[in-house]
């Protein structure tokens, strides 16, 4: 029996013929169709209803509704509610293949709950495929036919892999009937060129019907009785605008009781996503509706728990794609989960939480692919507080929203004028824009709010139009749009009762050099929201997450020059890193090691116990630019420092660019500080450039910062030359002492680099500039200890061979000093009073502090306004890999202190 339906589109009188399989007779009931583009009178036809097909294979499966008010022939059973029920929800990924559907069946069967209701989504990608059918049909694209065949094939293959015998045959038969019905419906859309929302909802809901039926049959095949529920017969919702629906709990509860009285079971497989209006017209719960379905069912059953099965281990403290150190949260309060989901975190749709919240039903997020993971429990705050009483972090998580724009309406005429804010947001509402955040200062001079960037043009035009008179009159000064913004939200229920959380948050942003454009915080204090530049969003997220979760200070480090000093530093870092992290909350991670010809890179941090082995095995060709980019840009840590352990002027030439890019620099390399004065440094630490491990720079800065005035700085700045002149006595030959120092590793490979005095001159320049003098290296007279004839020697070996010829000359100077009761010392002097410096060999009385040195010690005397009669002396080892590396390490910790670590 075929029947014709005339289209009511425009003035068309064309008729569409639907197949007989679509017009099933059942108990003479009337089916209220979603096909509103057909004349309503044509739906008052006799017998158009379809069975739910629970008792497969004896009952037909068709995609439609049944009026369950039909008197049942079975004895009605009361619906038990409460703790005996557990609700499970499996998303499309969980039922994306036959094997995954089997896994879901195993989880359900093995769950020891007395009663279980399982909400399932359509198979992965099926909902998108169904929407694509509608799109193709109303676009009059014949491709909808082959696309529908693909849907049929996907479910046929899956069912064939899961079922056998009569169950398989019946399911496939009824699947084909559904597909034929859909083909006729889509043909109608194709001819009309349009699909109503109700029609679309009806079509796309088939994916859930098929997955629920298959899962129910698989469970029954395994010996457990189950019924499947078409939730359109139970779940009643009212459209509420803004692409949302509101559940009608009273009516849904009535229908659920009636449904259960007809089909009692301890295992119910229910369709997610789909529902009906009070007029029995099929609809959906919109995107993410399956989670919402599960929560509503949990409330209707007063269930013990709702478990949302997904493909992640739980709710993370931040997006793990942006912050690799994000951690799984054990618990969240309903309010925290609500806030995080609103601000874009992959938690749950905000509306999912409402149904269970009123009954205190916990929601657990679990990973179907990792059953050993306990997941995240979303529950009442009292339970949450009890379970998280040992949690140190008052901020639970961070979320971001990108692609926003700020709109700022400001003007002196706004202050004290009632209705201004109402007029602003009324105009925004008129263009249908979504306001994400609002911020207004108490002065009422301006109101700023964030909207999606795609909507900001319409918002700005609406405001310009609404306030044209006020703008022309000057009562409003501007309607400004600030594009390319992102929102960062910090969420935590304990924030409300904990002083200093905001301070910590903003301090972390400030240390990461992030500028905050707007701030909002509700009186509930569950979240603090800031607006930042879009390009700063990930850096800001990492900075605040690092402060609250990883450590107060996490620093990504790149070590340049793993020679004697660099390798010693790496070994010191290896030995101290765990102590720093555990006791001082400082997390130092070496992300790269660069030598002159190779580099070792890591995304998470190099194992410093094996760095030499790893460099040999995984090293790649050295590239300084790629190295800096990797350490600074290809990781999840907001703070970056490059540690230059070389004496290379070429590398020193990169400092300015690195600092400009926000990369901190720590170095003992004196080439940059004593170079031309056309550079400006920030976050640049170079304590080891002057006194190796001695606190020379910090002492000088301390004097200046406390208001003292430097008069003169005089010192023995070279550990090498200190060793040489401390040993040059008792008739020893100068060349022999130099050879001994070289053999002991105190000198550079070519001792002329030390004896020339240039190294000391660079240190003098550094101290002179720290004292406020604008001196260049060329302004410093330097007395070289390299004899004039030997300065052109081709090699260090030749120099050492020729040096004994000049022993008499050096011996004479030493003897003259000895005869006068003095000693020779090679010193550098900064004469701040006369604005000059000098490097030379001087004589000192044997009771002078400079004469008391031994070994390679350095000594520096600060003569200041406070320390005038008796200079302030700093003395200690001034050479050697251990002390120099220690000085660098000290600078790294000083940087960490600057970035927020305990000092």
14 belongs to a structural domain: no
Considering the domain architecture, whether residues 765 and 835 belong to the same structural domain is answered as yes
Considering the domain architecture, whether residues 762 and 854 belong to the same structural domain is answered as yes
Catalytic residue numbers, as ranges: 763
Q: What percent of the chain has pLDDT over 70?
A: 84
**In sequence order, what E strands does 835-885 have?**
836-845, 857-864, 872-877
268 belongs to a structural domain: yes
CATH number of the domain residue 681 falls in: 3.40.50.720
Confidence of residue 325 (pLDDT cuts 50, 70, 90): confident
Instruction: Give the mean model confidence (pLDDT) for residues 705-715.
Output: 89
Q: Which of 510, 532, 550 is the last residue of a domain?
A: 550
User: Quick check: 141 pLDDT over 80?
Assistant: yes
Per-residue pLDDT, 13: 32
> What is the spatial distance between Cα 480 and Cα 409, in angstroms, rounded to a whole number?
6
212 belongs to a structural domain: yes
Looking at the structure of the chain, the number of domains it has is 4
737 belongs to a structural domain: yes
Higher pLDDT, 579 or 301: 301
Cβ partners under 8 Å of residue 525, min gap 6: 495, 496
18 belongs to a structural domain: no
Per-residue pLDDT, 296: 96
Considering the domain architecture, whether residues 272 and 301 belong to the same structural domain is answered as yes
Least confident of 386-390, 738-742, 743-747, 858-862: 386-390
Considering the domain architecture, whether residues 299 and 159 belong to the same structural domain is answered as yes
How is residue 476 annotated by DSSP? S
Per-residue pLDDT, 671: 67
**Which range among 342-346, 473-477, 606-610 has the greatest average pLDDT?**
606-610
The pair of structure tokens assigned to 399 is 């979320």
Per-residue pLDDT, 690: 67
Considering the domain architecture, whether residues 431 and 450 belong to the same structural domain is answered as yes
Instruction: Give the mean model confidence (pLDDT) for residues 636-659.
Output: 85
Instruction: Give the mean model confidence (pLDDT) for residues 94-104.
Output: 96
CATH number of the domain residue 273 falls in: 3.40.1160.10
Q: How many CB atoms lie within 10 A of CB 512?
A: 21
42 belongs to a structural domain: no
Considering the domain architecture, whether residues 429 and 533 belong to the same structural domain is answered as yes
Considering the domain architecture, whether residues 537 and 597 belong to the same structural domain is answered as no
CATH number of the domain residue 537 falls in: 3.30.2130.10
Instruction: Give the mean model confidence (pLDDT) for residues 549-563.
Output: 82
Per-residue pLDDT, 268: 97
Instruction: Give the mean model confidence (pLDDT) for residues 565-576.
Output: 90
Considering the domain architecture, whether residues 193 and 158 belong to the same structural domain is answered as yes
Per-residue pLDDT, 613: 93
Element (H, E) at 216: helix 206-221
Tens-digit pLDDT profile for residues 347-385 = 777 788 899 999 999 999 999 999 999 999 999 876 555
Strands 115-120 and 267-271: parallel
User: Quick check: 562 pLDDT over 50?
Assistant: yes
Per the prediction, the chain carries an average pLDDT of: 83
Domain extent, residue 800, equals 696-878
User: Quick check: 816 pLDDT over 60?
Assistant: yes
Q: Are the beta carbons of 534 and 403 closer than 8 angstroms?
A: yes
Considering the domain architecture, whether residues 124 and 268 belong to the same structural domain is answered as yes
User: Quick check: 38 pLDDT over 80?
Assistant: no
Per-residue pLDDT, 856: 80
The alpha carbon of 793 is separated from its chain's Cα centroid by a whole number of angstroms, namely 58
Tell me which residue of 479, 373, 349, 358 sits closest to 420, measured CA to CA: 479
Confidence of residue 57 (pLDDT cuts 50, 70, 90): very low
Q: Which of 529, 550, 571 is the last residue of a domain?
A: 550
326 belongs to a structural domain: no
Is the pTM above the cut of 0.75? no
The pair of structure tokens assigned to 826 is 């090679």
797 belongs to a structural domain: yes
> What is the spatial distance between Cα 837 and Cα 411, in angstroms, rounded to a whole number?
58
Least confident of 63-77, 92-106, 138-152, 373-387: 63-77
Tens-digit pLDDT profile for residues 171-203 = 999 999 999 999 999 999 999 999 988 889 999
Considering the domain architecture, whether residues 404 and 488 belong to the same structural domain is answered as yes
Per-residue pLDDT, 888: 76
Our CA dihedral for 808, 814, 819, 823, rounded to 10 degrees, sits at: 180
User: Quick check: 104 pLDDT over 90?
Assistant: yes
Considering the domain architecture, whether residues 467 and 403 belong to the same structural domain is answered as yes
Q: Are the beta carbons of 541 and 398 closer than 8 angstroms?
A: yes
Tens-digit pLDDT profile for residues 428-443 = 999 988 898 898 876 6
Considering the domain architecture, whether residues 682 and 705 belong to the same structural domain is answered as no
Q: Which of 288, 310, 332 is the last residue of a domain?
A: 310
């Amino acid at each position: 029996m075929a029947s014709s339906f005339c289209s009511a589109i425009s003035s068309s009188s064309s008729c569409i013929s639907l197949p007989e399989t679509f017009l099933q007779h059942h108990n003479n009931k009337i089916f209220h169709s979603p096909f509103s583009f057909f004349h309503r009178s044509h739906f008052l036809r006799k017998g158009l209803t379809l069975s739910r097909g629970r008792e497969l294979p004896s009952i037909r499966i068709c995609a439609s509704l049944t009026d369950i008010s039909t008197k049942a022939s079975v004895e009605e059973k009361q619906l038990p509610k409460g703790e005996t029920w557990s609700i499970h929800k499996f998303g499309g990924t969980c039922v994306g293949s036959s094997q995954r559907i089997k896994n879901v069946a195993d989880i359900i069967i093995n769950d020891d709950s007395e009663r279980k209701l399982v909400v399932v989504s359509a198979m992965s990608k099926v909902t998108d495929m169904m929407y694509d059918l509608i799109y193709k049909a109303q676009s009059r694209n014949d491709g909808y036919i082959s696309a529908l065949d693909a849907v049929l094939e996907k479910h046929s293959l899956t069912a064939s892999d899961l079922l056998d015998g009569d169950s398989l045959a019946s399911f496939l038969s009824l699947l084909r009937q559904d597909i034929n019905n859909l083909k006729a419906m889509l043909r109608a859309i194709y001819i009309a060129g349009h699909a109503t929302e109700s029609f679309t909802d009806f079509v796309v809901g088939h994916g859930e019907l098929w997955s629920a039926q298959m899962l129910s049959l698989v469970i029954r095949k395994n010996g457990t009785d189950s019924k499947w529920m078409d939730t359109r017969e139970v779940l009643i919702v009212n459209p509420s605008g803004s692409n949302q629906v509101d559940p009608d709990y009273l009516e849904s509860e009535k229908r659920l009781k009636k449904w259960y009285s007809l089909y009692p079971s301890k295992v119910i497989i229910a369709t997610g996503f789909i529902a009906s209006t009070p007029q029995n017209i099929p609809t959906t719960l919109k995107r993410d509706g399956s989670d919402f379905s599960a929560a509503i069912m949990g409330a209707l059953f007063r269930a013990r728990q709702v478990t949302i099965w997904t493909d992640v281990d739980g709710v993370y403290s931040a997006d793990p794609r942006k912050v690799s150190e994000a951690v799984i949260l054990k618990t969240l309060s309903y309010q925290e989960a609500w806030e995080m989901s609103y601000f874009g975190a992959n938690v749950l749709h905000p509306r999912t939480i409402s149904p269970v919240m009123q009954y205190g039903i916990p929601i657990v997020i679990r990973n179907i692919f990792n059953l050993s993971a306990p997941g995240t429990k979303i529950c009442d705050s009292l339970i949450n507080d009890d379970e998280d009483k040992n949690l140190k972090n008052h901020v639970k998580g961070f979320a971001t929203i990108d692609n926003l724009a700020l709109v700022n309406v400001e003007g002196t005429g706004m202050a004290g004028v009632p209705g201004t804010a109402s007029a602003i947001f009324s105009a925004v509402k008129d263009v249908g824009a979504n306001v994400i955040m609002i911020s207004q200062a108490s002065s009422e001079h301006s109101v700023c709010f964030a909207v999606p960037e795609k909507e900001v043009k319409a918002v700005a035009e609406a405001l310009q139009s609404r306030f044209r008179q006020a703008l022309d009159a000057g009562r409003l000064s501007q309607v400004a749009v600030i594009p390319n913004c992102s929102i960062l939200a910090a969420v935590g229920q304990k924030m409300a009762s904990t002083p200093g959380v905001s301070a910590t948050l903003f301090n972390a942003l400030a240390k990461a050099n992030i500028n905050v454009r707007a701030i909002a915080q509700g009186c509930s204090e569950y979240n603090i929201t800031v607006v930042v530049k879009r390009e700063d969003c990930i850096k800001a997220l990492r900075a605040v997450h690092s402060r609250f979760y990883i450590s107060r200070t996490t620093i990504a480090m790149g070590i340049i020059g793993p020679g004697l000093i660099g390798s010693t530093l790496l070994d010191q870092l290896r030995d101290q890193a765990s102590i720093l992290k555990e006791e001082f909350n400082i997390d130092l991670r070496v992300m790269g090691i660069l030598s002159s010809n190779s580099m070792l890179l890591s995304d998470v941090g190099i194992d410093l116990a094996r760095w030499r082995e790893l460099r040999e095995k995984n090293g790649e060709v050295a590239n300084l630019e790629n190295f800096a980019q990797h350490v600074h840009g290809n990781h999840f840590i907001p703070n970056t420092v490059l540690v230059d352990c070389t004496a290379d002027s070429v590398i020193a030439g990169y400092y300015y660019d690195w600092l400009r890019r926000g990369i901190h620099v720590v170095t003992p390399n004196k080439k940059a500080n004593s170079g031309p004065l056309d550079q400006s440094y920030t976050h640049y630490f170079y304590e080891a450039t002057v006194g190796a491990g001695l606190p020379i720079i910090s002492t000088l800065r301390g004097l200046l910062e406390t208001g003292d005035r430097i008069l003169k700085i005089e010192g023995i700045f070279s550990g090498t030359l200190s060793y040489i002149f401390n040993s040059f006595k008792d008739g020893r030959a100068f060349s022999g002492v130099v050879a001994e120092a070289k053999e002991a590793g105190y000198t550079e490979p070519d001792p002329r680099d030390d004896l020339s005095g240039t190294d000391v001159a660079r240190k003098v320049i550094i101290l002179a500039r720290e004292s406020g003098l604008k001196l260049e290296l060329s302004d410093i007279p330097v007395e070289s200890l390299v004899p004039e004839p030997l300065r052109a020697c081709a090699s260090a070996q030749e120099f050492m061979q020729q040096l004994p010829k000049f022993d008499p000359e050096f011996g004479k100077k030493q003897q003259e000093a000895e005869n006068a009761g003095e000693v020779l010392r090679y010193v550098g002097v900064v004469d701040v009073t006369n604005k000059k410096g000098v490097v030379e060999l001087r004589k000192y009385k044997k009771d002078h502090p400079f004469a008391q040195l031994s070994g390679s010690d350095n000594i520096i005397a600060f003569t200041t306004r406070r320390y005038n009669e008796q200079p302030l002396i700093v003395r200690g080892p001034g050479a050697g890999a251990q002390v120099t590396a220690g000085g660098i390490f000290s600078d790294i910790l000083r940087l960490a202190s600057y970035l927020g670590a305990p000092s």
